[in-house]
Amino acid sequence: MKHLRVLGQKSRSQDSAYTAVIMDITAAVKNAERLKQNEIEIAHVARVATAGELAASIAHEVNQPLGALVATGGALLRWIERENPDIEKATANARRMVGYAQRASDIVSRVRTLFERGSTTFEEVNCRDLLSGSFAYVEANARRNRVAIVLDIDDGLPSFQGEPVQLQQVIINLMVNAVQALSQFNSTDRLVKVSARLCGDRIEIACLDNGPGFSGDGEAFFKPFHTTKQHGIGMGLAICRSIVEAHDGKISAGTNPSGGAAFRVSLPLTHKASNLKE
Ligand code: ADP
């Protein structure tokens, strides 16, 4: 089968004369068909890749409230199963469990927005609430690993525009990573310092630990699925970068001057309404 393009024209000078051109366009038609098929395949692969990243990030992010849920549920059972059950303490644990479950569900829906091209509404975020709220989630894990987390927040920091659950996710990820790095490290003085300062029209948040640190520039840590941990997923910092960049901010990995790792996040106080993107 051949595809032909035929163009014909009646001659202007001679009444009965026609000029015709016949072109064999078979190769061009076949190429166009192949191109279309490739585009369909690429779109499919991109969708599958996004779904894979989405699944991995949800697994990573939801792990933390689920862990808290299991620990609090265990404590609740212990308060009830005592000879004299302590209903007040059990109720407090049950309330906390509802909060953790709510957080897990919030994370699922908000991580999903990271992969959609939809706009997210930003609200006023208070830096002290952001850091102390994140600390509350990591505190028990830090204590178990004998790691002290110190918050050092400048007084009178102005509030800024952001998406509080996602920003909390960033800070929790940085704190959990620091605690994990220190838990493998042979040291009696295990310290994570999280600070917040105003620098011009930006809020600068830093998470410094005195753990083993890393060699190289640390840029690779922000690539999806890059992990050096035996059971790591390697999505934490990739998610952090997506969230921070959706806030017109920057995140970088560096070295703590007194040894260990330093992760720095810089966020503008205000910015144009931004679209969260993949
Ligand atoms: P995961 O925790 O699943 O490995 P992340 O994206 O959170 O995924 O981290 C990627 C890698 O960055 C880690 O595997 C580790 O090598 C490195 N990293 C992150 N935080 C620290 C830290 N505080 N100290 C040393 N290395 C770190």
Ligand 1 atom index nearest CA of 227: 14
Q: Whose CA is nearest to atom 7 of ligand 1?
A: 236
SS3 86: coil
Centre of ligand 1 from the C-alpha of residue 177, in Å: 6
The pLDDT tens digits of the residues spanning 213-249 come to 999 889 999 988 888 988 788 888 988 898 898 899 9
Q: How do 202-209 and 261-268 pair as beta strands? A: antiparallel
CATH class entry, domain 123-268? alpha beta
* Dist. CA 122–CA 111, nearest whole Å: 15
The finding on whether 211 has its CB within 6 A of some atom of ligand 1 is yes
The pLDDT tens digits of the residues spanning 147-161 come to 999 999 999 999 999
Which of 231, 275, 242 lies closest to 59, judged by CA? 231
Compute how many other C-beta atoms are within 10 angstroms of the C-beta atom of residue 243.
25
Centre of ligand 1 from the C-alpha of residue 228, in Å: 7
Q: Which of 60, 191, 237 to mutate to test the pocket of ligand 1 (most atoms within 8 A of CB)?
A: 237
Q: How would residue 4 be classed by pLDDT, with cut points 50, 70 and 90?
A: very high
* Dist. CA 271–CA 87, nearest whole Å: 48
Tokens at 34, concatenated: 């192949």
Q: Whose CA is nearest to atom 20 of ligand 1?
A: 177
What does the domain layout of the chain look like in residue ranges?
4-48, 51-115, 123-268
Which of 163, 162, 49, 179 lies closest to 107, judged by CA? 163
Percent of the chain past pLDDT 90, that is, above it, reads 51
Centre of ligand 1 from the C-alpha of residue 267, in Å: 21
pLDDT higher than 60, residue 199: yes
